[in-house]
Structure 1
Amino acid sequence: MAGMISAPRRWFARFAAAAGLLVAVVALLIAPATPASAHAVLSSSAPAASAVVPTGPSEVVLTFSESVRKVPDKVRVIAPDGSRADRGEPTFEGAVVKIPVDPAGANGTYLVSYRVISADSHPVSGAFTYSVGAPSPPPQDTGDNSRANPVVGNAVKVAKFFGYAGLALLIGPALVLAALWPRRLDRRGPARLAWSGLGLVTLATVADLWLQVPYTAGGGLFDVTGEGISTVLGGAFGAAHLVRLGLIAAAAFLLRPLFTGSAGRADAIILAVLGVAGLVTWPLAGHPAASPAPAVSVVVDTVHLGSMAVWLGGLLMLAVFLLRRADERELGAIMPIWSRWAALAVSALLLAGVVQGLIEVATPSALVNTTYGQLLLVKIGLFALVMGVAAYSRQLVRRRIAEQRPGAVRRAVWVELAITAVVLGVTATLVQTPPARTAAETAGVEAGYFSSTLTSTLLNIQVELDPAERGNNSLHLYAYTKDNRPQPVVEWKATAALPSAGIEPIEIPLLPLSDSHATGEINLPASGDWQLKLTARTSDIDQATVTATVPIR
C-alpha cells in the first residue's frame, strides 16, 4: 500500500517540477531582449556640456554608449532660477534620450541631470551644464539624481551575500546526500541545512527584486512604487529573478525525496536541470549578460558559481557532519571521492574566474587603477590563501590521516570555510561594482568636468576646467557681482600648482572673451589635487583673489 501511495506522489512531484521548468522557460523566451554592452556612459549631448548657445533649444538630446531604460522622473533640465525647464516625459530610443525643453526660457546656465538603467541593470547617473546667451551661476537639482542611498546600496550587497551563501547551503548538501552520505547516518541535520539554503536563496531573490526599485531610483528602502516595480519587472533583471523563483518552486517538490533518500534517477536528472537553469539566472541578471562576449561570460559565470557552491557546501557538510559522525571505514571511502570532487570544482572555479576576469578587466592598467580591478586582486589573494589550506587538507587525505585523525582535517576545513566566507563578501561587492573595462571606457568617454563658484567680498567667480584630467585642459572664468550680474574685469590672473608633487605655481595665459569672461589653456602633467589661484582686478584699487582645489585624474 505504501508503494502505491508514494508512486502517485512521486509522479505528481515530477509533474509539478516539469511544469515549473516550463513556466521558467516561457518566461525566458518572452523576457525583453537587451543588447550586450556594459555600464552605459554618456557619449555626447546636444547642447554639448559647457556650451554657450545663442537661443534656447527645444529639446536636449543625450546619446549613451548603449541602450538605456527609463527611471521614472529622473531625467531633468533645471533652469537658472532653479525651476524645471523640461516639458513632458523624455523619450527613450535605444541609446538616445530626448528631453523636451521650453525654448522661451530665460538666459543663463541650465543643469541637465539624469539617472538611467544600463544593460547590466545598474543605474547610471550624471549631470552637466549648458548656457543660453551667457553663463550664470549653475542651479542645483533638488531631486538629487546622482547620489545613491547608502543604506540601499549596502542592503543590496547583503542580499547578494545571502543569495550566494544560500546556494552553497543548498547545492553542497544536496550533492553529498545524493552521492556520498552513508546509509546508516541520520539525514535530518543535512536536510535542514539544505532547506535553510533554499529559504535563503528565496529570501535573497525577493529582496533583490524589492531593493532594485529604490536602488535604480536612488530612494530609500521603502521608496517603492507600483511604477518602480513595473519598471524592474519589465527588464531583464526582473525576468531573471522571476524565472529563479519559478525554478525554486519547481525544485522544492523534488528535494524532499532526495533528502529522505527515496529519490529515483529521473528525480535526480530533473533536479540537475533545474539547478543548472537556476544558476544561469545569476549571470543573466548582472555584468556577464552585458559583457563584450555575453554567451561566454554567462557560461563561465555559471560554472564559477556552481563550482563555488559545490566546493563550499561540500566543505560545510564535511566539517559539520561527516568528519564528526562517519566512522573510519566510511571516511576511507568518502574522503578520496570528495578530494577529487573538490579538485575538479576548484579547477573549474579557477579557470572560469580567469576567463571572466580577462573579459571584465580588459587591460592591465584597469586591474590596478579601478575599484573593480582592486577588488578582484583582493579576491585572488584570498583565493590563493584558501588554495594553500585546501592543499594541506588534500595532503592529509592522501596520507589517510583524515580517517585516523578527523579533527585535524576538520580544523583545516573550518579555516577554508572562514576564508571563503570573506571571498563571498568580496564577490557580493564585486558584482555591484562597475566592471574595470567600463570604468576604463568611462575615463576616456566621459569628461571629468570641474565647475565651481568661488565667493569673495568683492565678487563671485565661476571656474570651469574641462576635462579636469592629466594633459591639456581648457579653463573658463566668469565674474559676477554679488547679485549675480556680469561683473566687468580689468585684468585676470591665474596660476596652478601641485604642492604634493613639488610643482610650483604655473602661470596660465588668459584671453578675455568679454568684459566678464576669460579663457585659457594649460597642460597639467600629473594627477593629484591641483590648487588654482585666481585673481580678478575690477579697478585700479579693487581686486579679489580666490582659490580652488581641483582633483585631476
Structure 2
Amino acid sequence: MSAAVRRRPVAVVGRRAATRVGAVAGLLLLLVALLLAPAAPASAHAVLVSSSPAASAVVPSAPSEVVLTFSEGVRTVPGKIRVIAPDGSRADRGEPSVQGAVITIPVDPGGARGTYLVSFRVISADSHPVPGAFTYSVGAPSPPPVDSGTDNRADPVVENAVKVAKYLGYAGLLLLVGPALVLAALWPRRLSRRGPARLAWAGLGLLTFATLAELWLQVPYTAGGGLLDVTGSGLSDMLGSAYGTAHLVRLGLLAAAAFLLRPLFAGPIGRSDGIILTILGGAAIFTWPLAGHPAASPAPAVSVLVDAVHLGSMAVWLGGLVMLVVFLLRRADERELGAILPIWSRWAALAVAALLLAGTVQGLIEVATPKALVDTTYGRLLLIKIGLFVLVLGVAAYSRALVRRRTAAQRPVTLRRLIGVELAITAVVLGVSATLVQTTPARTATTQVTGTPAGYWSTTLSSPIYSLQVELDPAERGNNSVHLYAYTKDNRPQPVKEWKATAALPSAGIEPIEIPLLPLTDNHATGEINFPAAGEWQLRFTVRTSDIDQATVTATVPIK
C-alpha cells in the first residue's frame, strides 16, 4: 500500500475532526450571543387603545398626569414622548414611567386653559415602532399647538431599507437551503458540485449581510432617525431586546452551519453531520418568528411554530425550484431526471401542503375576523399574497402533472419554463411578505384609536373631597370596561382606600348591579360590567379616601 493511500484516511479523519471543531466553535458563538443579549419580556404589536384624558376630551382642570394605555406592553423611546401646552412649551415634567401596557406621563397640574398635544413613539415587543399623537383640552378648546421639538414620523428611507433587508434575507435563505438540500439527497455523483456550492455560499453571504443590515437598521427604525443615526446606547438597547437576541442567535447558527456546509459542497457527508446540519438549519428558521409578529400573538407558541413551518417550507420549495431550473434541468440526463423528478415532486407537494396549513393557521391568528381581512392594510396584503399563491399553485399543478405522466424528463425545456414562471411569481410573493411582516397585524389594527373611539364615554364627577374621572368603553350593550381615576381638588392623584360602584336602569326595572373593581394604582381602578339592555343607566360611585372620609357621586350614561 502506497504512502498516499495510507495517508488518505488520516486526511479524511482530519477534515472531519476540523469540521466538528468548527461546528462546536459556531455553537460557542451562539452561546456567547445568548449571554450578550438577555431576553426581554414578550408582548405584542401594540396600538393605543385609550388615554386619560381621553383623546379630544375637554376636562374642567389640568390633570397632573397623562396616562396612555396600549393593547400590549411597550418600551419607550428616549425623548419621543412629549406633552405640548397651548403656548407651545413643554407641559410634561420628568421621564414617563412604564408599567406593562400603561405609560404615565407627569405633567404640570397648573397648566393653562386650552388644547394640549400629546405625541409619542414607543416600541412593541415584536420590534415595531408605534408612533401617534392626540389632543385634549383644559376648560375649552383652542388652536392645537405644534410640536416643533421632535418628529415621530418614520424616515421613509429607513422604512424601505428595512423591507429590502428582509427581502434579501428571504432570498438568501432559499438560495442556501435549496443547494444544501439537493446536494445532500438528489445530486447526481457524476456532476460537479462547484456551481451549486457557489450559489449556496452566495445565499449564506446574502443572509448574513441581511441579518447584519437588519440589526443596524433596527436602531433608527425604532427611534425614528435616519440611516446613520445609530448611537452606542441605541445599539446596546436593541441588542438587549428580543429582536437583537434572535438575530445574534441566527448569526451564531449560520457560523456553525458554515463549517458543515464546506464538506457537503465537496462531496457526500456522513449521516451524523447531516443530522447536525438539519438541526442547525431548523433552529435558524425559528429566529424569524421569534423576532416578529408571531412571538407577540395571542397564541405565541402556536404562531411561532406555524410561522417557522411556513418559512421552512417556502425555503425548501423555492430553493429546490431554483436548483432545478438553474442546474438539474440543464445538466442532468434523461435517466437521472427520471429518478430525481418524482422524488422532488413528492417533496414539493409536502412543502406546499405545509405552506397552506401553516399559512391558514397563521392567517386565522393574525387577522381574527373576516371584516379585518378587508378593512386593514394587513388583511388586504394577505389577500394579495393568497391570490398570487393560488396562481403559483396552478402552474405547479401543471408541472406535477408532467412529472406524473413521465414526460418531464423528455421535455426539460418546458418544465424549466414553467418553473421559471413559478419563481417569477413567488419573487413578488416574497416582496409582499417582506412588507407584510412590517405591517400592523389586522387583529390589533382594528383596535387602534385615532381620536375618541366610537361609543366611548367619559366624564369628570366632583365631590367635596375629590374629583373622579370616569371612562366607559364601548358604552354599548354587552361587556364594557370601566376605568376610574381619583384626583384631589388641586388635581393631584388622590390615594383611595376603598372603591365601590353600582349600575342601575330604573326604567327597565333593573335594580343596582354591583361593579367589581380592581385597584391598579393608588388612584386608578378598573372593572367590567355587562349591560343587558339599552337605556339611560345610572352609575353610582362611592370612594373612601381615609378611614372616615368618603363621598358618593352619580352619573347617567346612555347605553345604545
Task: Please classify the TM superposition score into its range, dividing by the shorter chain length.
Answer: 0.7 to 0.9
Give the AA of the match of 1:160: K
Query: 232-241 or 37-46, which moves further after superposition?
Result: 37-46
How far residue 320 of structure 1 moved from its aligned partner, in angstroms, is 0.6
Distance 2:87 2:365 in 1: 46
1:308-351 per-residue CA deviation (whole Å, 9 max, x = no partner) reads: 01110100101010011001111111111111111111111111
Distance 1:291 1:201 in 2: 26
Q: 1:284 aligns with which of 290, 298, 301?
A: 290
1:477-516 per-residue CA deviation (whole Å, 9 max, x = no partner) reads: xxxxxxxxxxxxxxxxxxxxxxxxxxxxxxxxxxxxxxxx
Partner-residue secondary structure (3-state), 1:73? coil
Query: 248-257 or 221-230, which moves further after superposition?
Result: 221-230
Q: 2:136 aligns with which of 118, 130, 133?
A: 130
Distance 1:448 1:228 in 2: 38
Distance 2:284 2:190 in 1: 32
Query: 308-317 or 397-406, which moves further after superposition?
Result: 397-406
How far residue 444 of structure 1 moved from its aligned partner, in angstroms, is 10
Instruction: State the match for 1:385 in structure 2.
Output: 391
Q: Is the 8 A contact 2:158 2:226 kept in 1?
A: yes
The 5-angstrom pairing of residues 519-530 of structure 1 reads none
Give the AA of the match of 1:170: L
Instruction: State the match for 1:226 in structure 2.
Output: 232
Q: Does 1:116 align with 2:122?
A: yes
Instruction: State the match for 2:274 in structure 1.
Output: 268
How far residue 137 of structure 1 moved from its aligned partner, in angstroms, is 1.2
Runs of 4+ in 1 over 6 A off after TM superposition: none
Instruction: State the match for 1:240 in structure 2.
Output: 246
Distance 1:60 1:361 in 2: 31
Structure 1 residues 398 and 64: alpha-carbon distance in aligned structure 2, compared to 1, 3 A threshold: same
Instruction: State the match for 1:17 in structure 2.
Output: 23
The 5-angstrom pairing of residues 10-89 of structure 1 reads 10-21=16-27, 23-24=29-30, 27=33, 37-89=43-95
Q: Is the 8 A contact 1:87 1:100 kept in 2?
A: yes
Partner-residue secondary structure (3-state), 1:442? coil
Structure 1 residues 42 and 141: alpha-carbon distance in aligned structure 2, compared to 1, 3 A threshold: same
Instruction: State the match for 1:306 in structure 2.
Output: 312
Structure 1 residues 27 and 201: alpha-carbon distance in aligned structure 2, compared to 1, 3 A threshold: same
The 5-angstrom pairing of residues 305-454 of structure 1 reads 305-442=311-448, 447=453
Q: 2:196 aligns with which of 190, 194, 198?
A: 190
1:99-143 per-residue CA deviation (whole Å, 9 max, x = no partner) reads: 222333333222111100112111111112223343321111124
Q: Is the 8 A contact 2:55 2:451 kept in 1?
A: no
Distance 1:161 1:71 in 2: 27
How far residue 98 of structure 1 moved from its aligned partner, in angstroms, is 1.9
**CA-atom RMSD in angstroms:** 2.3
Distance 1:264 1:446 in 2: 64
Q: 2:214 aligns with which of 202, 208, 212?
A: 208
Q: Is the 8 A contact 2:34 2:248 kept in 1?
A: no
Give the AA of the match of 2:122: V
Q: Is the 8 A contact 1:36 1:294 kept in 2?
A: no
Partner-residue secondary structure (3-state), 2:82? strand
Give the AA of the match of 2:291: A
Distance 1:181 1:284 in 2: 33
Distance 1:298 1:5 in 2: 43
Partner-residue secondary structure (3-state), 2:49? strand
Distance 1:74 1:415 in 2: 47
How far residue 19 of structure 1 moved from its aligned partner, in angstroms, is 4.1
Distance 1:362 1:238 in 2: 28
Distance 2:451 2:345 in 1: 48
Q: Does 1:140 align with 2:146?
A: yes
Q: Is the 8 A contact 1:58 1:102 kept in 2?
A: yes
Q: Does 1:175 align with 2:181?
A: yes
Structure 1 residues 443 and 110: alpha-carbon distance in aligned structure 2, compared to 1, 3 A threshold: closer
How far residue 144 of structure 1 moved from its aligned partner, in angstroms, is 4.8
Unaligned runs of 5+ in 2: 1-6, 456-473, 477-560
Give the AA of the match of 1:378: I
1:32-76 per-residue CA deviation (whole Å, 9 max, x = no partner) reads: 555655321223323332333444333322222211011121111
Distance 1:363 1:319 in 2: 40
Give the AA of the match of 1:269: I
Q: Is the 8 A contact 2:46 2:74 kept in 1?
A: yes
Instruction: State the match for 2:105 in structure 1.
Output: 99
Distance 1:289 1:182 in 2: 41
1:166-204 per-residue CA deviation (whole Å, 9 max, x = no partner) reads: 111000110000000001101000000000100111111
Distance 2:228 2:362 in 1: 35
Q: Is the 8 A contact 1:389 1:412 kept in 2?
A: yes
How far residue 397 of structure 1 moved from its aligned partner, in angstroms, is 1.1
Give the AA of the match of 1:10: R
Q: Is the 8 A contact 2:62 2:111 kept in 1?
A: yes
Instruction: State the match for 1:259 in structure 2.
Output: 265
Partner-residue secondary structure (3-state), 1:72? coil
Structure 1 residues 352 and 446: alpha-carbon distance in aligned structure 2, compared to 1, 3 A threshold: farther
Distance 1:36 1:447 in 2: 27
Unaligned runs of 5+ in 1: 450-468, 472-553
Q: TM-score, normalised by structure 2?
A: 0.77
Distance 1:242 1:68 in 2: 22
Q: Is the 8 A contact 2:33 2:252 kept in 1?
A: no
Number of matched pairs = 452
Partner-residue secondary structure (3-state), 2:118? strand
Q: Is the 8 A contact 1:91 1:98 kept in 2?
A: yes
Structure 1 residues 56 and 424: alpha-carbon distance in aligned structure 2, compared to 1, 3 A threshold: same
Structure 1 residues 196 and 95: alpha-carbon distance in aligned structure 2, compared to 1, 3 A threshold: same
Q: Is the 8 A contact 1:21 1:274 kept in 2?
A: no
Structure 1 residues 27 and 19: alpha-carbon distance in aligned structure 2, compared to 1, 3 A threshold: same
Partner-residue secondary structure (3-state), 2:134? strand
Give the AA of the match of 2:346: R
Structure 1 residues 73 and 260: alpha-carbon distance in aligned structure 2, compared to 1, 3 A threshold: same
Distance 1:448 1:6 in 2: 72
Q: TM-score, normalised by structure 1?
A: 0.78
Give the AA of the match of 2:170: Y
Distance 1:158 1:369 in 2: 26
